[in-house]
Amino acid sequence: MLQRLAVLWQRMALYDVVVAVYLAAIPAALAMTPASAVRDRVLHQHIVLLAVVVSFIIAARTDACQSSRFVGFGYRIALAGSMAATYVLLGDALPLLNSGVRDQELFLLDLDLFGVEPAILLQRWASPAVVDWFSAFYLSYFALLTMFLMPPVLFSKNERMSGELAVVVLLTCAVGQSLYVAVPGFGPLYATTEAFDGPLVGQWWFELMNGIVSGAGAKKDIFPSLHTATPAGLTIVAFRYRHGPLMRWVWPLIPFATANIIIATLLLRWHYIIDVVAGLALAGTCAFIAAHATAWDIQRRRKGGILSAWPRWPFELSVRAHGQPR
């Protein structure tokens, strides 16, 4: 049994560990909250999610399943979908884990550190056309994740780049969502309503964004701003690999979209500036960890004779004889 666990550990990638630890931490924390029908339902949902994702991780690391198309596809979807699923489930989990609200502290911290609250300052430029522009970019966050994460993970022969992207996104989401529990809040839109001249007025994109945000999500998910941290982390990795075949032509679009998304979080009154600063700090930290930890992780598995961290579907990762990605 111990030998099998040692072999499994040798074959696991760093991002497997990040996801498994985070998904296990949530039900562990929920189990320590007072029992209730809601708690039991949410706990059950998280346990099921943990079981599904861990099952695909284990299957992807076994000899019998390495070349399975179903396992290879399911493994990638399980990793990518795990953070999206936990974010949606946090809508019910967050009030159980922390019923408090830190909006007043965050607002005063903005004033003490920066002397201004950007959401209030930017309202003078918040015309319907401007609101709609930034609403579209706020929603583009999800498209950005899909367009710039999945192709490298699915198509790239550069295991280090795809590994760094996976670690940056998964680690950023895991840490960020954990901090939501420690520092819950609703943002300037709800906390400082009296400071604004009136509600925002937009057009089609604004209405679509409001409908999506109000219908799903963790609700008290402001510190740090993952709308800042995740695109900023992708920007750092894209810049590092800007000369590669997949990034060469598209990487300049990432910082442009990232800048607009960050402005959108402030102008649309979702975040305090301290949330954005914390998001940038989280992005830089996770990108630094990803660059060094991914290189270490590849070498660790190479020493054990494991050439690729990705199951061989749908595109086999091509590896040279000396074990370095092409």
pLDDT (0 to 100) of residue 154? 63
Q: What is the pLDDT of residues 213-234, one digit of tens each?
A: 766 655 788 999 999 999 999 9
Structure-block tokens of residue 115: 């002397």
Task: Report, as ranges of residue numbers, the positions in the chain whose pLDDT lies below 50.
Answer: 315-326
pLDDT (0 to 100) of residue 323? 38
pLDDT (0 to 100) of residue 183? 93
Element at 71 (helix H, strand E): helix 69-97
**What's the DSSP call for residue 269?**
T
Structure-block tokens of residue 41: 């339902």
Q: What is the pLDDT of residues 71-110, one digit of tens each?
A: 777 888 888 888 888 888 888 888 889 888 899 899 999 9
pLDDT (0 to 100) of residue 287? 95
Burial classification of residue 79, based on how many CB atoms lie within 10 Å of its CB (0-12 exposed, 13-18 middle, 19 or more buried): buried
Domains in the chain: boundaries: 2-303
pTM summary value: 0.86
Amino acid (1-letter code) at residue 186: F
pLDDT (0 to 100) of residue 16? 87
pLDDT (0 to 100) of residue 31? 93
pLDDT (0 to 100) of residue 47? 95
Distance in angstroms (rounded) separating the CA atoms of residues 53 and 100 = 30
Among the listed residues 171, 84, 157, 147, the one whose alpha carbon sits nearest the alpha carbon of residue 310: 157
pLDDT (0 to 100) of residue 217? 59
Across 230-245, b (16+ Cβ under 10 Å) vs e yields bbbbbbbbbebbeeee
Distance in angstroms (rounded) separating the CA atoms of residues 252 and 238 = 9
